[in-house]
Chain A
């Protein structure tokens, strides 16, 4: 059998809070929209090319020419933050999408068929749970090299079991519902019922839970870039920028490091707020 069902602790953490506040959720969504749009439209939004070095303006203070000043190579900070959104947001997005798809498929199979498939998959998940996602990402980098590709694939595999477990529980519960039996009686095949009827019912719940992972993944991938193992300098990426800016801190040049750091925190908070609200609204009881 699979390992014990979610303990009280885990259920509590995932229990939808009965908080509903429209204003702040909208503010968070606005923040996210602004950041995302800026990243997508970077070539038009950013005032400068993020890689242009300006020998005459190292560590310039914020001014009308450079709203956030420049970094150690005279590159415009605001432009780098805008462009940085591309890699900083794309990675987590891919991880969430892949892990959700993979997790739903595996959870569907495990929950629907039960039996030995469920047992085997459960054991596989147990092993994967033992590997913190950052660790798997680093292992992938050690094997396949730096950049975003290896970590994204590795983290998708790492987060899939969480999605799979949830899906499995939901599917197992749904399987016993009357409407499923009704379909069977009418002669519809198991796979069809699972994919065309059960899946759409549970997908929103799973999806909402998945969006909460976006924030964690963003922080982890940015951390990986901060370590120099993910996105590589001189590419503008929030984590990589903070890595490059570290040496300036002792010289009193905080802005090149603090500005991207603030953006990271803001985006993570906003994502968490939106994600939690989404989970609340979609509702759904998470079975014991």
Chain B
């Protein structure tokens, strides 16, 4: 079936991209001139124990291709090596911090989706009128507020001044954590809302102009029903496509928000590991983020024909 072939093709592309990306991640270390042990143990006491550890972990006495194979074999088994700063398996270090970042990204994603969709829909339905312009303006302004600016403004106003929300830490327990993550997820979401908002608006505007909508409206079906049945579904495609880009972007941008709010998540771990020259951890996180991006995109790519039948007919069909 052509579907099967298409899916297989997409999967093949995914694997190829992942493979090339892993090469980039692994061999980036070789860009640094000089002794690899000195590089990996920068800032640390080069004790015999540390040198032996690092040599064993990276297989430094093996030729480069073998080093890569060992590393990638380990990765596929879930072994990312040992963290230099924590003296622990990287997997353990990551595992401890994943929940916070996941919840943060999910909450931020929800805010982006809801606010963006609602805003974009209202704007589209009122195209040309005051509310449309108002929403577009707000979106532009929001899009210019980087997450570190958003973080400190939110802390200043809602934490220090009003005391409504805590300004640091992730709390304990599910609901406490959600409460602690309200401000951080808003700070994270702000700059991405414009993305979803504009795409929603444009996609829906285009849909609303379509003939079948006019036909439906002329048949007396209420606008709301038309919106619900036809427009929303067809607009979903482009929205989902954009959402693919969001995933990796959110995880990376979470570094900034996690630092600002003192959250112990993957983002702040990345920053701390870059700072503390803990290269194994940096490599692992970069690989994970890239994998997440590629996989999500591939899934959306594969599902696209079912979401947006027009693109199944060919690229750029209008």
User: Which A residues lie at the B interface, using CB under 8 A?
Assistant: 3-5, 7-10, 12-13, 15, 123-124, 126-127, 130-132, 134-135, 138-139, 141-144, 215, 219-220, 222-223, 226-229, 239, 242, 245-246, 249-250, 252, 254, 257-258, 261, 264-265, 268-269, 272, 288
Contacts and interface: CB of A to CB of B under 8 A. Distances in A.
B248 A130 contact: yes
Contacts of A9: 199, 203, 238-239, 241-242
Given A254-B156, A258-B153, 12 more contacts: A7-B311, A8-B206, A123-B20, A131-B21, A131-B290, A132-B249, A143-B29, A219-B144, A227-B255, A261-B149, A265-B144, A272-B144
Given A127-B17, A272-B143, A12 B202 contact: yes
A261 to B, nearest CB: 4
B260 A246 contact: yes
A138 B20 contact: no
Chain B: interface size category = 35 or more
A12 B239 CA distance: 11
B80 interface: no
Contact of B273 (A142, A144, A261, A264): A142
Interface in B229-283: 237-239, 241-242, 248-249, 252-253, 255-256, 259-260, 270-271, 273-275, 277, 279, 282
Contacts of A132: 248-249, 252, 289, 293
Contacts of A141: 274
A255 to B, nearest CB: 10
A250 B260 CA distance: 13
A126 B153 CA distance: 36
B152 A8 contact: no
A249 B289 contact: no
B282 A138 contact: yes
Given A132-B293, A142-B277, A7 B148 contact: no
A222 B146 contact: yes
Given A7-B311, A131-B290, A229-B275, A12 B146 contact: no
A227 B267 CA distance: 11
Contacts of A226: 148, 256, 259-260
Contacts of B286: 131, 135, 139
